[in-house]
Amino acid sequence: MRITNGSVIRNYKSQLASSLSNLDSARMQVLTGRKFSKASENPTAAFRETQLYRKYTANQDYQDTVKDMISRQDVQENALREINTETQEILKDYLVRIKSAGITAEERKTYATALRTKQNSMLLSLNSSYEDSYVLAGGDGKNKPFTLDPTTNKLSFRGIPVTTNDATQLSKLDALANQKTYIDIGFGLSLDANGQVNSSSAFNTSLPGIKAIGYGETNGIPNNIIDLCGEIADELEKDDIDWDHFDALVTQMESTYNELLSSITGIGVQSKFLTQTSERLETEQLALTEQISNVSEMDLTEGITNYSWMQYTYNAALKVGSNIISSSLIDFMR
């Protein structure tokens, strides 16, 4: 079969273009550090890279959320610790001095004023906020949760008196105290058969303040620290103190104080859990980074070696071409 000169030249031009294309591809790999620039070059690797990047981005979102939750819980803990400090001072300093011998009526009234100041100070702590949200408001962080009635000096939570024996109000307070607000931090958020979030698949960010300071009453005595301070102050302002009632108020405050300590401990446990979660997410991020690198990033040594080989191949093709393409009449013209 006769092979024409035109056929040889066409075939050579095709192979030379292919060699140039390979050289350009190798050069791009070295310049970009990637094994492929378009998904069409390696569909399987491109799909794998996309999946990994989705996981990587989600991981970063989870990390940001966890860090935000840690900061939020720090504010919650600081608020409760401030109340704890105030209550400790009342129990270990004020009340001891009040019951000491020789205290005058005027001195008792001075302590009553100090207790009302403590009430307002604790109220500020209960209404602590992080960014634009009240951290001890439970499920409604946009509205100030606690108020102190200027007339009765009684505490309310979302408009409901905290000290109450009314069954309807207590039912509402129970519901508010147990409100939960879940957020996804990478545990595979899921719902149960009733469409409710599975508690093990998300993190509960809600901490209603009444759960920490108490609500309701026992035998006519408030179960919360703020109103107890007010009632102790009321008793101290009387000319004739009912010391039995005073002792009952102190006993109730000690009991409520223990509940406050339990809440602070609970926040500490949750903070440790969030810290461990943050560390786990950081470890996952490193693993994902390595997987993405293995899928898409070109080994520099391999890339340079491949580029050098393609350069050599292209140069060789050019030299071969000088022998294949025959001389024309122009080559003999002078």
pLDDT score at 329: 45
Cβ atoms within 10 Å of 294's Cβ, excluding its own: 13
Q: What is the spatial distance between Cα 297 and Cα 234, in angstroms, rounded to a whole number?
A: 74
Characterize 87-116 residue by residue with b for buried, 16 or more Cβ atoms within 10 angstroms of its Cβ, and e for exposed: beebeeebbeebeeeeeeeeebeebbebbb
Tell me what pLDDT residue 296 has.
74
**Inter-helix orientation angle 243-296/225-236, to 10°:** 160
List, for the chain, all residue ranges whose pLDDT scores fall below the cut of 70: 1-6, 8, 12, 16, 20, 22-24, 26, 29-33, 35-36, 101-102, 299-300, 302-303, 307, 312, 314, 322-334
Give the contacts of 241 (CB within 8 A, at least 6 positions apart). 108, 235
pLDDT at 2: 62
User: 251: buried, middle or exposed (CB in 10 Å: 19+, 13-18, 0-12)?
Assistant: exposed
* pLDDT value of position 16: 67
Tokens representing 233 are 């102050």
**Contact yes or no for 173/146 (Cβ under 8 A):** no
Instruction: Tell me the DSSP string of 218-256.
Output: ETTEESSHHHHHHHHHHHHTSSS--HHHHHHHHHHHHHH
- Residue 27 confidence (pLDDT): 72
Q: Look at residue 189 in the predicted model and tell me its pLDDT.
A: 83
